Structure formats: structure tokens, C-alpha cells
Structure 1
């Protein structure tokens, strides 16, 4: 029943509201392997490690490593729910489409709004983060801010070109990135653990003087738990292109679970190797060594490995940026297809032999280019925080929607992937994401500027107000809040369940 049910959902929910210009459907370009590679590239162990490592070890000492398995376990429950929803509704836009089908178009729209902003800011973060590594590979270790921003725009141009071409070009680059990720994470992690370990295993139980016992757990440890969420997001990228995946009902649950489980283990392996190989731990804990990963790698492998590492970082960050742009462009296209975005007639078009949403891809490029020039050092930290929050919030909404539908006993998930454990997975995921959202938005005196400490709450409020006003304009009072089939989403789901 599950596969027929999933196929029925695709047939029903992808029917356009009119005959023009939304009649064309996405071309199925992905199989299980390429879908896995897309999710893995978006997750990117390299990006996860290099983005949060220094923050975590300074905030909570070497014992911050325990935050990695904690966050991974919580995210695996989220991923399990996503696998179930993807097998039920393998639709473009993932969390947007699931929220729409579970509760209705307004709820779906607000989920998509959070998701699109989280992903768009992630594109900016990745482009800005990749720039210094590329410049460093060419010997410029202290680039001017404008230089960094212009190089970031160059990354955006290249990434957008790959996405516009799509098809084999996109998949080939993703496979190359996968190879670099494996070498950089498995190779470096194992080499450091076996041949270059200078610290004893007891160091991973050391809080670095930040606090002890329960005070450490409810204080310093919570900061890396918040930031490490950035290491385990993006696994849903393949679900965002669900209508482009062959046998999506079976392939997508495997793709998202394999990407998170495999990528998560690699993140933990590499992070553990780095902590145990740090040559001067006091310098790192005091903040004197501001780039402990580079210092450790140079000490272990010599300066010749420096440029090779930088090139791998560039590949990792770039491939992740391309995968994120792929996911957000599909979310924009799916919303436009449902006439839920201004300019939907244009943004909902597909073009070229591959059926690419090129106008949606172009919009992400323009918005990201504008935001790049606001990416000063202080604002960059805020962008990282809000990108994580945008992801987590957009993950939260369909899971809460599913929990609500299950409590009302108004949904039948018989035959879907993981149906036997969906109740437990949903309950744990709701608790986990609630705690993580509170942890992310909680203002901490980390920065000298108050607006950075309160930045996530401020940006959430501003974008929430803008999103609410746009949602009211798209769905004015009295207008039917329908799904993509033209019928109320809850009624469509109930009819499908009855069928």
C-alpha cells in the first residue's frame, strides 16, 4: 500500500493550478546513489568540522566532543521522521511540501519561508567561508574584506552556473566533492588518531577550566550543542528534489538516513582525531591559537599539506554551497507552482532539456550576492547562527504538524517507511528540536555587541513579521487555503488516507 500511496500523493499534489506556465514536470535525473551524494554534499563533514570546531573547544574545552554524538542522535530521530514523510510525499521542497500536506497551505508557506531563508543564508555563509581558504592557497593569508566578498561572488557565479546546467554536470561535481570529503575526513581522522596523537584519551573529559560537573553541562556545554547543529543539517537535500528522483518512495528514506549516519560518523572521527593531535592545548583554550585545525594539521603533516588541505576545504565548501542552492531553488519553485509566491508565473517555470527551475536559481543568486556584501566578521557569526536556526525551525514545523495529525488520529501512514517506529521517532524529535530551538535563540553574553547576542531573536522577529504580512497577502482572509491540487490540504490528505 505504501508505494501506491506515495505515488498517488505525487500524482495528486503536483497537478498545477492552471495550464500555463506550470504544466511541465521535473525531469528525473537522480537515483539512490546520486541522491545520497547530494544530501552528503549538503551535510558536508568538512564544512561541519571547520565551522564549529574552534567555537566549541574554546567554549567548553576538549570535552565539547561529546556534543557531536548527542546532536547526531537527536538529528537521527528527525531524519527518521523525514524518511517517513519523504516516502509518503516525495515532493519538491521537502519540508515545505510536507507541512502543506499535513496542515495546510498557510502552515506550509511559513515553513517554506523559514527554510528558504535558512538555506539562502547558508549559501552566503559557505561562499564567504570558502573565500579565505582559496586566497590562502594562493598565499594571501590576510585578505581585505572587499577581496573576500568579491571572491565569494565568484563562488556564487560558479555554483549558480553548475545548478543552471544541472543533470550530469551537477552530479559529476557532487561525486568529485564526495571523494574529497572522504579523503579529508576519513584520511585525516585516521592518520591523526593512529600516527599523530599527542594528547591522552583523558583529555576528552576535560572541560578546559570552563566549569565542572552539572554546572558545565547546563552552562558551557550548551553553546557547542547549539552550534554543532550546523554540522548535522542539510541531509534532507535529496528530499527537496524528490520529484527528480527515480523510485523516490524507496530511495529518499535511504538517501537521507545514509547521508546523516555516514556523514555524522565522519564528523566525529575527524573531530576526535583533531582534538587528540592538538600540539599546544593551552594556546587553543586561551584563544591565542585562533585556528587550531590549521595549526594541528601543519604540526602533524608539515606545511606542504597546508595548501592541499586548503584546496580540499574549498571543494568541500563549494560543493555544499551548490547542494544548498539546489535545495532552496526547488523550495522556491514548489512554492511558485502553488501560486504562493509573488512572481510565481516566472519562478514556477522549468526550462531546458533537464527541466531546471532556472528563474528560481537566479533569484537565489541575486539575493545571496546582495547579502555577501553585509558579511563583515561580526555579522558573519550572526549569519551562521541564523542559518542554523532557520534549518532547525523548518525541520520543527512538519514534525509538529505530523505529531498534531497523529494525536487527532487523522492520518494513516500504513505502508510508509519506518511506520512501526514513527510514533517514537516523532515524539523524540519534537522534544529534541524544542530544546535545540530554545538553546539556539537563548541570548548569551558571547559577543561584545548586544545585537549579536540577541541576533537570532531579532532576525526571527523581523523575518517573522515580513513573512506574516506576505502570507496574509498571498492568502487573504476568506480565501481558500488549498494544497497544490486546488482542494484544502487536510481534505486531500484525508481523502488519500481513506483511499
Structure 2
């Protein structure tokens, strides 16, 4: 058998992939570059900055314990995903895993949630990056339309990197990885060992948000829901599975390693910031809405403010590029299977590095259009589904794996957890159900009822639309697409 080709696992029909001659995917990623993609998608800077202030206000300094809780739960999920990608190393990650575990419709709805969740996250990341960029270059009095145009520019920059292909994308991701590693490690070390202001016992304080069991089942659950956003995106390495050399062995390592690395960095840096905060009471009262920036400027000098802003632009932009790489492959995988509208156009590959440029362009159109309603409550309502989309698309394949194991029909791939497989899968199933419900639980955080219920509202709206589109995809008389075989022509030219 030629090097870098794969064969169908036992029981999987040897169907064609649906690509035509000249459209084969180019294998150009290795363990190192797959790790960099997953690391950038999760992003320690995005994970830390995105939830820190909300976490402190919601549950006090003791919100920090939400990070290890969520990290352990997500590591369980990454273990299950490692087994699934070893069995089915196909483009689209969660879509393909759910499809092969349960069936085409089940996989379709997994992909529907995944595509919407990631596309909405793409819009949010570009908008956030634009805000930090505006501050970094010192612009003032920027209108909403101007910021939307700057955010569109950030989105187009990331999209250009994705459209050019793996070589440029990998260089940018490596640079981002190095910058984020230095920034988060540096913040943690300097603040914790040089500027620590508070005792470690501060981590046991709920900051008068509540006490005892009331705190545990109220504010802390809210903090766990928020921290859930910090540790998603590690499955993106699986979304490019057919572009990764030796994917069966490489990807089960890349996903949990990236997640664990980001998780430890977030916990370490947030520990340093918490214990060096100049005035915790001001943060708890809401008077200091940006405690990360305040702490760094107070302890390290005003010059660190601009450095932080630059680091945030780098982190959010890198996460944007990784998210787009993942969602474009999921769109392409659905188009290859002819189960989404516009399959002929979206299922093509182009350029010397064989990338799904039309699928990438679709994400630009959707995410970019949403930027121009970014000041409205409709935008906030739409974004409420971003985190839910991740967890829903995680829950479906994990619960599918639970079902298959209960039936006793699971056949492991090349990488397996062995006798730990069943208990880890069951524990991961319990975790994703718990966290999905926890995230969806309406909480009075926005002051507007439909935003507090936004996640459930958007899940319902997108669910109804999904039912209508799926009826078209699986309409009577239409031949069901065959499952893609696990083959990929070796077109790699070496490199990392």
C-alpha cells in the first residue's frame, strides 16, 4: 500500500470519497502542525480573557476552580474523540464520527449545530479582535460601522491565510503559539512570584456572591458554564483529518495534548492575575470591568497595556483562523456527501494546496454580514448559540459512542483506551449532558428576558430550520450518499 494512504476499518463499506481526479486532499499536516491548529483554536489568551471578569463577578475569586472542573470533563471528551478519529479519520470531525456511529441524519444534525456554532464564533472572534486592535493603535470615537469594517478586515486576513493553504497558515499558527505561550507563561510567573498581593486562601472566597451549598449550586455552576467556553475547539485537529499524515496515530495525541496545554496555561495565568489583583472588591462591584488589564498595568506598568492588547489581537485572530479551518472542512465534508444546499459549489477544492475555498468564502459571507448588526440585541441573541453549538456537537458523537458501547458493537481503531474506554466514554457522556444543560440554563445576566433565554430560543429556531433543510437533504426518492471510504492520495511534499 502506498505511504500516507488509509483503508476502511472493519465493517465500513469501501465507498468513494466523492472527490474527482485532481481534487484529492493534500496531506500537509503532522503532529506538530495539528497540535498548533488545535492549540490556536482553544487559545489560552481567548480562554482566559473571555471569561475572567465574568467569572469573578459571578462567583468571586473561587470561580478559579471552575477551570480544573471543566478541563477534566473536556479531557474525558478528548479521550473519546481520540478513539473516534482513530477509527474514522475523516474531514469534518464530529460530523463524520456521529454519522458513522448512529447514521446519516444523526450526523447531519451534529454538523448543522457545529457549522452554526463555529460560524457565529467566527463573527464574535473577529469583532473582539477589532476592538483590541482599535485600542492598540489608539483610535478614538470609532463608530459601530467603522468597527464592523475593521472586524471584516480581520476576518478577511484570516480567510486569506486559510485560502492560500497550509504552508502560510502553519507559519502564522506557529507564531501565534509562541506568542501565546510566552505571554501566558510570563504573566503567570511574574504576577505569581513577584507581585502576589493575596494569600492562596483567597481562592476559597466566594466574594459574598453566596455561601455554602447556595454558592456551589448557584454562582459556581454559572462559573462552570462560563469556563466551558475556555476549553472548546480541540476537535479542530480532527476536522482536517484527511490532510494529516498518519492521522490515526497523530490526532489522538494532538487533541488532548493541545487541550491540556491550554488548560494548564489558563489556570496558571489566571491564578497569577487573581492573586495579584489590586482591588478585588472593585471587580466584584462591577466598577472594574477589565481586571486583567487593570492588574497588568498596575503591577507591570502602563506600557504593558499595549503589549496586552497586541497579544489579544494575535490570540483572537489565530483562534479565528483555526475555527475557520475547522468549519470550512465540515461544510466541505457535508457538500462531499451531497447533504447541504450548494454541494456542487461548496464541495470543490482549489489552489495548489487543494483547500475548500468556496466553503471558506461562505463563512466569510455569513460571519461578515453579521458584523454589521453587531450593535443590536439580535446579534447578541445569535451569539448566544456559539457556545451551545460546540457542546451540542460534542454531545451527539459522545452519546453515540455511549450507545454503541452499550450495544456491545464498538470496534476500536488503531488507537484505543483499552479497558478504560467504556468508563471514560460513560463519564464523558455524563459530563457533556451536564455541561450542555448547565450552559443552556437561563440565567439573569443580560437584563433582557429573551437574551437570558437566548440559547434555548436560538437552538429552537436553528433546530426548526435544520429540520426543514434536512427534509430536503434526505427527501424520498433521493439516493442516500455513501459513507466516504478512508482513503487519501499521498500528495504531500514533506514539511511540518
TM-score range, shorter chain: over 0.9
Distance 1:408 1:331, change over 3 A: same
Which deviates more, 369-378 or 279-288? 369-378
Indicate the residue corresponding to 2:113 in structure 1.
114
Distance 1:15 1:325, change over 3 A: same
**Whole-Å Cα distance in 1 between the matches of residues 200 and 331 of structure 2?**
47
Indicate the residue corresponding to 1:85 in structure 2.
84
Indicate the residue corresponding to 1:489 in structure 2.
none
Indicate the residue corresponding to 1:16 in structure 2.
17
**Whole-Å Cα distance in 1 between the matches of residues 15 and 238 of structure 2?**
15
SS in 2 for 1:221: helix
**Whole-Å Cα distance in 1 between the matches of residues 283 and 199 of structure 2?**
16
**Whole-Å Cα distance in 1 between the matches of residues 101 and 22 of structure 2?**
24
Distance 1:420 1:138, change over 3 A: same
Return the TM-score normalized by structure 1.
0.93
Distance 1:468 1:199, change over 3 A: same
**Whole-Å Cα distance in 2 between the matches of residues 379 and 228 of structure 1?**
24
Distance 1:71 1:31, change over 3 A: same
Return the TM-score normalized by structure 2.
0.93
**Whole-Å Cα distance in 1 between the matches of residues 38 and 297 of structure 2?**
30
Map of 1:41-440 to 2, 5 A cutoff? 41-140=40-139, 143-376=142-375, 378=377, 381-413=380-412, 415-440=414-439
**Whole-Å Cα distance in 1 between the matches of residues 121 and 403 of structure 2?**
30
Runs of at least 5 residues in structure 2 that lack an aligned partner in the other structure: 486-496
Superposition deviation, residue 8 in structure 1: 2.1
Indicate the residue corresponding to 1:493 in structure 2.
none
Superposition deviation, residue 115 in structure 1: 0.4
SS in 2 for 1:98: helix
Map of 1:465-476 to 2, 5 A cutoff? 465-476=464-475
Which deviates more, 45-54 or 476-485? 476-485
The CA deviation string for residues 210-250 of structure 1, in whole angstroms up to 9 with x for no partner, is 10111001011111111111100001111100000000000
SS in 2 for 1:320: helix
Q: How many residues align?
A: 482
Q: Does the 8 A contact of 1:39 with 1:323 survive in 2?
A: yes
Distance 1:330 1:9, change over 3 A: farther
SS in 2 for 1:25: coil
Distance 1:23 1:335, change over 3 A: farther
Indicate the residue corresponding to 1:497 in structure 2.
none
Which deviates more, 405-414 or 72-81? 405-414
Superposition deviation, residue 288 in structure 1: 0.4
**Whole-Å Cα distance in 2 between the matches of residues 381 and 282 of structure 1?**
28
Superposition deviation, residue 145 in structure 1: 1.9
Q: Does the 8 A contact of 2:4 with 2:246 survive in 1?
A: no
Superposition deviation, residue 140 in structure 1: 2.7
**Whole-Å Cα distance in 2 between the matches of residues 273 and 51 of structure 1?**
16
Which deviates more, 420-429 or 53-62? 420-429
Distance 1:130 1:455, change over 3 A: same
The CA deviation string for residues 88-132 of structure 1, in whole angstroms up to 9 with x for no partner, is 111100000111111111111100000001110110110011111
**Whole-Å Cα distance in 1 between the matches of residues 318 and 96 of structure 2?**
25
Q: Does the 8 A contact of 2:9 with 2:413 survive in 1?
A: no
Runs of at least 5 residues in structure 1 that lack an aligned partner in the other structure: 487-499
Superposition deviation, residue 406 in structure 1: 1.4
Q: Does the 8 A contact of 1:6 with 1:87 survive in 2?
A: no
Segments of 4+ moved more than 6 angstroms: 3-6
**Whole-Å Cα distance in 1 between the matches of residues 457 and 22 of structure 2?**
40
